[in-house]
Amino acid sequence: MTRLSVNINKIATIRNARGGNMPDVTKAAMDCETFGAEGITVHPRPDERHIRYSDVRSIRPLITTEFNIEGNPIPSFIDLVTEVVPDQVTLVPDARDAITSNAGWDTIKHRDFLTEVCSEFRSRGIRTSIFVDPDPAMAEGAALCGCDRIEMYTESYASMYRSDRDAAIAPFVRTAEAARAAGLGLNAGHDLNLENLEFFIRNIPWTDEVSIGHAIICDALYMGLETTIQSYLSKIKIF
């Protein structure tokens, strides 16, 4: 059954826009769990424009479900992950100035580097996931890097969903099947929302986890955080 991990970066963005500690990111993480989230995702960047490294350290001992840290495995990120030891680390090749993640890894080109990073994290008991575009070759390449899962970058699915949802989902099904054949677990994330989430899960029911942040926080402005999380859970608990 697919699990819902809530990305709380946008809550940190609101806090940082004004300074101080309002909203309280640590409390928000705990509230998300109380409201039904089955994991908390954070994506610290070097400039700390939303989630800060200090947030990661504060949140880690309070999480009772799953803690997932996303990011580009630069040295400072690797040091942070090995210090706090989350349940899962998701490797994302985002540039320092990226507004949001916008591409997956080329797991063939960067195989040696990704293999080294995966080995480091797995030696510490941390599940590793590699962020990839919907391409079966990238899933197969990820398996050769020694990771446990891939996370499919779902922006293209979301952007095409309204015009042709069957065509939109097709490359993701192929990639998901390649991942499963290679023995990998499967995560997904980016621009998934209440409109497109259920169709995605119905077509790829072996998805282990979806990580959703921006859409959840946007919906929570109108529906409230608890109702929003429950609404997202209803879209993935369909089997």
Question: For the segment 19-38, what is each residue's pLDDT rounded down to a tens digit?
Answer: 899 999 999 999 999 999 99
Return the sign of the alpha-carbon dihedral for residues 213, 216, 218, 220.
Answer: negative
51-63 pLDDT tens trace: 999 999 999 999 9
To the query of whether residue 70 is one of the catalytic residues in this protein, the response is yes
- When the pLDDT of each residue in the chain is averaged and rounded to a whole number, the result is 95
Q: Of these residues, 70, 140, 151, 209, which one is catalytic?
A: 70
| The predicted structure's pLDDT at residue 153 | 97
To the query of whether residue 190 is one of the catalytic residues in this protein, the response is yes
Q: Of these residues, 33, 140, 155, 190, which one is catalytic?
A: 190
Token pair for residue 193? Answer: 């929302």
- 91 has which bridge partners? 71, 130
Residue 6 has pLDDT above 90, yes or no: yes
Beta carbons of 221 and 23 less than 8 angstroms apart:
no
142-187 pLDDT tens trace: 999 999 999 999 999 999 999 999 999 999 999 999 999 999 999 9
Q: Compute the distance between CA of residue 196 and CA of residue 161 in angstroms, rounded to an integer.
A: 7
CATH architecture of 3-236: Alpha-Beta Barrel (3.20)
* DSSP string over 107-165: TTTTHHHHHHHHHHHHTTT-EEEEEE-S-HHHHHHHHHTT-SEEEEE-HHHHHHTTT-H
Q: Of these residues, 33, 43, 140, 209, which one is catalytic?
A: 43
pLDDT-derived band at 102 (thresholds 50, 70, 90) equals low
Show the CA angle centred on residue 73, arms to residues 70 and 78, nearest 5°.
Answer: 95
pLDDT-derived band at 94 (thresholds 50, 70, 90) equals confident
Residue 202 has pLDDT above 80, yes or no: yes
Environment class of 88 (CB within 10 Å of its CB; exposed 0-12, middle 13-18, buried 19+): buried
Q: H or E stretch including 84?
A: helix 75-84
Token pair for residue 178? Answer: 């390649």
Token pair for residue 31? Answer: 């509230």
Q: Where along the chain do its domains lie? A: 3-236
The predicted model scores a pTM of 0.94
pLDDT-derived band at 237 (thresholds 50, 70, 90) equals confident
Closest among 68, 56, 59 to 30, alpha carbons compared: 59
Show the beta-strand stretches assigned E in 13-146.
39-42, 67-71, 88-91, 127-132
The H helix count followed by the E strand count for the chain is: 11, 8
pLDDT-derived band at 46 (thresholds 50, 70, 90) equals confident
